[in-house]
Amino acid sequence: MGMREEVDVITAACKNKDIHVLFENNIDSMLKSTSDVWDFIKEYYNETRQIPDKNLIATRFRDFEPSNDSGPTIYHVNRLKETFLDESLRSTVKKAAQLLQDNESNKALSSLNSDISSLSRITAKVRDIDVTDVDDAIAYFDKQREAAMNGDVGIRSNIASFDVCLPMGISKGQLGVLLAYPAIGKSWLALYFAVQAWKNGRTPMILSLEMTEQEVRNRIFAIIGDGKWSHRALSSGRVNQDEFKAWAKENLEGKPPFKIISNDGGSEVNPNVVRAKIDQYKPDIVFIDYLQLMTDNSGSSQNETVKIKNLSRELKLLAISEQIPVVAIASATPDDASDLESVPQLGQVAWSRQIAYDADWVLAMGRKANSDALEVAFRKNRHGFLGDFVMVADFDKGKFSEVYDPSDDST
């Protein structure tokens, strides 16, 4: 591993006294041969709030020979990153190739996914801004305003009561959660959002772990049909083929792709797999149906609470690092004295509340038995108002419409 590059990084940081460059670039994992020197620098810094001189280090560590000419620290950090990436990728590919040779293709894929994901994490940089940097803030406002004027905003749901609560739409890097008790209509609503994104020219990707891809596709046809198709008829194949072909020609041809991913029931789906699929299909938004059926990257399925905690963090990081919105469906668990019809609270996410902490917004839903009226409430929203509204759902036709609320005299 690039011993010379490591020494250059340490020498430069000692000379330029900018240890923060090393901290914000996750340098720990990249300093292999000089990890003892780096540990000493960190200890020294914690004790004295100063960075040791390179000569002091050379005295302490006989085999450490500081470089003579050191430029800016960030230059050397970037060189080290390049070397680190190069060598790590070679080793990752070699490991996968060996597994392939042993006819362990599933293990090879999993190993590739896992190694590449951890490489992305290691080489990522901590981002920071200075609140008092007014120019930076104004540049950001300009960019947002310009984006809004050009129509380049996040994804709209075309449900006005929802969209008004997320002024910039469902935006890149956001983790949204649709929360409800079982059989309320979470998956339908997620698919409705996906179809609206698609109708607006975006590419959605749905990861369905609960339903088969054909079942999801039938629902999507029903929603796109906007009342034309009965979901029940589609599911039983009672469709006039010519009519369907003509409709598909008019409504599906020339439109962006609409990807549905499902597993075969046996394979594990974790955020690394989602990342790989994002790389493969380049979607504009990802829907996960549903969270509790996924596994975390470490595969620690012996404890559901730990799994959901890890998953939550991994999905949030995925959304940020891939700069894509991720909407996860989460099941709610009732307390002993909670009914299954009301709109669940933030703390009722099944197994762990962590997802509620990490999410940018949580849209909770409730529905009375035998009713089509869906009560919808933002339980958390980092980007706007905690809206509340009612929609009538026609689950056979895949239609959702906002309704006049008789308890509201102002409308």
Contact between 377 and other proteins (CB under 8 A)?
A: yes
Report yes or no: 31 and 9 within 8 Å, Cβ to Cβ: yes
Stretch 299-338: interaction string toward other proteins, x if CB under 8 A = -----------------------------------xxxxx
Counting residues that bind other proteins (by CB under 8 A) gives 32
Contact between 215 and other proteins (CB under 8 A)?
A: no
Helices (H), 130-211: 134-149, 160-163, 186-199
167 three-class SS: coil
Point out which residues pair with 401 in neighbouring strands.
392
Report yes or no: 402 and 160 within 8 Å, Cβ to Cβ: yes
Only segment of 20-28, 275-283, 322-330, 401-409 that touches other proteins (CB under 8 A): 401-409
Helices (H), 102-180: 105-123, 134-149, 160-163
Least separation, in Å, of the C-beta of 192 and other proteins? 17
Least separation, in Å, of the C-beta of 238 and other proteins? 34
Only segment of 93-101, 197-205, 227-235, 399-407 that touches other proteins (CB under 8 A): 399-407
Report yes or no: 289 and 269 within 8 Å, Cβ to Cβ: no
Contact between 385 and other proteins (CB under 8 A)?
A: yes
126 versus 369: smaller Cβ distance to other proteins:
369
Contact between 18 and other proteins (CB under 8 A)?
A: no
Question: Which residues between 334 and 363 bind other proteins (CB under 8 A)?
Answer: 334-343, 345
48 versus 407: smaller Cβ distance to other proteins:
407
Contact between 167 and other proteins (CB under 8 A)?
A: yes
Residue tagged 């129509």 (tokens): 151
d(CA 240, CA 54): 79
Question: Which residues between 144 and 163 bind other proteins (CB under 8 A)?
Answer: 160-161, 163
163 versus 322: smaller Cβ distance to other proteins:
163
Omega before 290 within 30 of 0, i.e. cis: yes
Least separation, in Å, of the C-beta of 340 and other proteins? 6
Pick from 19, 155, 165, 197: which binds other proteins (CB under 8 A)?
165
Q: What value does the CA radius of gyration of the chain take, rounded to a whole number of Å? A: 26
Contacts within 8 Å (CB) and 24+ apart, 196-200: 196/155, 196/156, 196/157, 196/158, 196/159, 197/155, 197/156, 197/170, 197/284, 197/285, 198/224, 198/255, 198/256, 198/258, 199/158, 199/224, 200/155, 200/156, 200/158
Q: Using CB under 8 A as the criterion, which residues of the chain lie in contact with other proteins when the complex forms? A: 160-161, 163-165, 167, 334-343, 345, 375, 377, 385-390, 402, 405, 407-411
